[in-house]
Amino acid sequence: MNKFFYILLTLIVLSSCSEYQKVLKSEDIASKFKMGEEFYNNEDYAKANKLFAQIVPNYRGKPQAEKLMYLYSNSFYKMRDYYVAGYQFERFASSYPKSEKAEEAAFLAAKSYYMLSPVYTKDQTDTKDAIEKLQEFINVYPKSEYLDEASKLVRELDFKLEQKAYGIAKQYNHISDYPASIKSFDNFLFDFPGSSLREKVLFYRLDSAYKLAINSIEYKKTLNGIVHLKKDRLETAKEYYEGFKKSYTSSEFMEEVDQMALEIENALKAYSTKDNI
């Protein structure tokens, strides 16, 4: 019985493939549309897409074109070809602005760019593009049923940019390039003022300022004269400490922070002694 079932199944599959190849090679665009839709409804998006691709030019300007272009665009999305899906959905939304599918197409176009966003350790150009596309969708459709999801995706992408900026600044700290680390953390605080990473950013900025100050040379000659480099850096580190403690009194980093503050204060006392001599 099982053997008969497998033979029957094989014959059905072969017949289906044969019919598909026959329609694919024919010039009957109606048959291609019909079979493509059948494959689409059965979630065989690759075969559907291949049939749709052959007839898209033939249906341009015809009543069926709207439905065809939506199915064609979505077949790319379902196949995870997000570059092409984004492009095709944008074309659909632009070509059929009054379509009942226009809003969905605009959202899926933006979401396609979201799907192209890589992990935060890689270049984030696609992430920035995705944020821009999703924000455009939110601006055009402020009452959309997809608004909550679009906003959620923007927050995810924003956090990815935060992670990227934080990782770069922390790497500078790790390789002891403290001036670059401080500058990068300052930029982070300006670009992402409400970040959930703010506590860590303030801690590592203080850590960079502390290490820069403690290991600093005393003086530096400039065009305007001699600068008390180490003292200035110690005072900056002290300001960072005070800002951190004010914001995060119960921080997990507090023990390390207080130890840094003690060393900074002791180093600054040496200058008070010199001034009194």
Which pLDDT value is given to residue 84? 98
Tokens of 48: 């559907």
Per-residue model confidence (pLDDT) at position 229: 83
Residue % of the chain over a pLDDT of 70:
90
Structural domain contains residue 136: no
The 10s digit of each residue's pLDDT in 169-216 is 999 999 999 999 999 999 999 999 999 999 999 999 999 999 999 998
Supply angle C-alpha 161, 166, 171, rounded to 5.
130
Of 224-228, 262-266, 272-276, the range with the lowest mean pLDDT is 272-276
Q: Is residue 38 part of a domain?
A: no
Ramachandran angles phi, psi of 70, nearest 5°: -65, -50
Identify the three-state secondary structure at position 31: helix
pLDDT(99) > 70: yes
More confident residue, 14 or 192: 192
The verdict on residue 121 lying in a domain is no
User: What is the domain count for the chain?
Assistant: 1
Q: Which residue's structure tokens are 């390390």?
A: 256
In angstroms, rounded to a whole number, what is the distance separating the alpha carbons of residues 179 and 208?
Answer: 8
Q: What is the pTM of this model?
A: 0.85
H/E stretch holding 221 reads strand 220-222
- Can you tell me which residue has the tokens 């997809």? 146
Question: How many other β-carbons are positioned within 10 Å of the β-carbon of residue 33?
Answer: 20
- Domain hosting 219: range is 197-277
- Reading the block at residue 181, the tokens are 């680390």
Predicted local distance difference test score (pLDDT) of residue 222: 62
Amino acid at 95: S
